[in-house]
Structure 1
Amino acid sequence: MTDAQQLKLYATHPHPCSYFADREAKTIFIDPDIKVSSPVYSELSRRGFRRSGNHLYRPECEGCKSCIASRVPVNLFKGSRTQRRVVKRNNDLRVAILDAPNSDAYPLYEKYINGRHRDGDMFPPSRDQFDSFLGAGTDSTQYIHFYLGESLLSVAVTDVLDDGLSAIYTFYDPDYPQRSLGVYSILWQISRCRDLALPFLYLGYWIRDCQKMAYKTDYKPIELLMSNRWVRLT
């Protein structure tokens, strides 16, 4: 079993930042050839690492600390009136928890990227991209499929950690904006953490000055990893 202190770390060359056009980014990542155990993966998450495909990584940008790891202490979370309405609006969805994405998942992913992220790094979508980004899970990865009748509306990719769930990515049908499926996915995972007696939902990086990453503080209280210490904001 690999110890977190013994992992090999690599760094990328500076590259254009995905969030700020005037900045360069740098990332450190764990040697992808090393089999990382579940306890070590959990410890890395507590230290601010995230998973993308088969890479565990953390931003390490010179002169910029905008990407801040975030997590929700689920037993303290109550939800706003708007969030409670989102849950009620989606109570008619059927949920299936699978070990791999089903055959309907890629067409939904393609529709989502084409409909919501044509200006992003993942456009245009491809099957190879999908398989390497979301299909390359770990032993702890679960694919939460949300159905309306027989129609797949949303998929949440989630990793089960020792102390929580890590919300890796959610994609959904953009033809149902009134359902707020992205919000519902997070609220469902918070509820799932409670059911599993796991204290945290890890939400990835909060970036205050980036609109598409700033939403995470809508889930209060939230904890942010600042100066290697989790700080709770209410």
Structure 2
Amino acid sequence: MTSSLRDLKVYTTYPHSCSYLEDREATTLFVDPRQEVDQILYSNLSVLGFRRSGNHLYRPHCSGCEACIPARILVDSFAPNRTQRRAVSRNSDLEVELTGDIRDEAAYDLYKRYIEQRHSDGDMYPPDREQYLSFLDNAWECTRYFRFYEDGKLIAISVVDELLDGLSAIYTFFEPTADKRSLGRYAILWQVEKAREMGLEYVYLGYWIKDCRKMAYKSEYRPLELYLKGRWSPLA
């Protein structure tokens, strides 16, 4: 049963170091972890800018800072640019498989290599299995794991949540040595086409942060909407 959003209990964390902008403190708003979550509630909260990590739903709630802005792609209006079309072409040989979980060794080994070689300066380093599952596993029955294969070899996994109005791109990790494929870009483009195929309106990308290089890339996907002052508006 879905609770009324007005009755939803939420909690804020103590201030902590911001993961994206140096010399800033962050505060996070969390939905009560005891709350029963279904696809309807999750979808409604996504429209309000919430995001999933493991079995937790959260949203930035920082004092004096609104740099983390929820972003989503308008699927019907999206048309890939030249760079994006090249990424699609380079990966046209890949086969995609939908699986129910990512608890196997092949999936974890790929994640481990990705974090060690691509994000050794981030807060997910060093990787470990417990952290991996707490971040990407989910018990709400709306998570999909899309595996991308090159000649039978697993080279990428996209963790995607199916919402009522769109797909939520939770995380993609891939073979760190496959630079020429632009697998991160391709995964988003693939999800846009998957959402179109499913008749969904949006692909939710999480938070767009203008002054953070690893998050600002999302403005590449136009038309993009940002959640500002309680409403979704086009990115100019």
Match of 2:187 among 181, 185, 188: 185
Which whole-Å CA distance do the structure 1 matches of 2:138 and 2:44 have between them? 20
Letter in 2 for 1:45: S
Query: Which range moves more in the overlay, 185-194 or 95-104?
Result: 95-104
Instruction: Give the TM-score, by structure 1 length.
Output: 0.98
Are 1:52 and 2:53 counterparts? Answer: yes
Which whole-Å CA distance do the structure 2 matches of 1:85 and 1:163 have between them? 28
Letter in 2 for 1:147: Y
Match of 2:111 among 91, 109, 112: 109
Residue in 1 aligned with 2:44?
Answer: 43
SS in 1 for 2:222: coil
Residue in 1 aligned with 2:33?
Answer: 32
Which whole-Å CA distance do the structure 1 matches of 2:138 and 2:119 have between them? 21
Give, in angstroms, the shift of residue 98 of structure 1: 1.3
Residue in 2 aligned with 1:195?
Answer: 197
- Paired positions, count: 234
Which whole-Å CA distance do the structure 2 matches of 1:7 and 1:118 have between them? 37
Which whole-Å CA distance do the structure 2 matches of 1:95 and 1:162 have between them? 23
Residue in 2 aligned with 1:219?
Answer: 221
Cα gap change, 1:137 to 1:175, in 2 (>3 Å): farther
SS in 2 for 1:166: strand
Give, in angstroms, the shift of residue 233 of structure 1: 2.6
Poorly superposed stretches of 4+, deviation over 3 Å: none
Identity in percent: 52
* CA contact 2:101–2:137 (8 Å) conserved in 1: yes
5 Å matches for 1:58-97? 58-97=59-98
Letter in 1 for 2:43: S
Which whole-Å CA distance do the structure 2 matches of 1:137 and 1:150 have between them? 29
Letter in 1 for 2:225: E
Which whole-Å CA distance do the structure 2 matches of 1:9 and 1:151 have between them? 43
Instruction: Give the TM-score, by structure 2 length.
Output: 0.97
* CA contact 2:195–2:201 (8 Å) conserved in 1: yes
Give, in angstroms, the shift of residue 4 of structure 1: 2.0
Give, in angstroms, the shift of residue 99 of structure 1: 1.7
Letter in 2 for 1:44: L
Gaps of 5+ in 2: none
Give, in angstroms, the shift of residue 136 of structure 1: 3.0
Which whole-Å CA distance do the structure 2 matches of 1:5 and 1:130 have between them? 32
Which whole-Å CA distance do the structure 2 matches of 1:40 and 1:20 have between them? 30
Give, in angstroms, the shift of residue 32 of structure 1: 1.1
Which whole-Å CA distance do the structure 2 matches of 1:137 and 1:169 have between them? 16
Give, in angstroms, the shift of residue 102 of structure 1: 5.3
Gaps of 5+ in 1: none
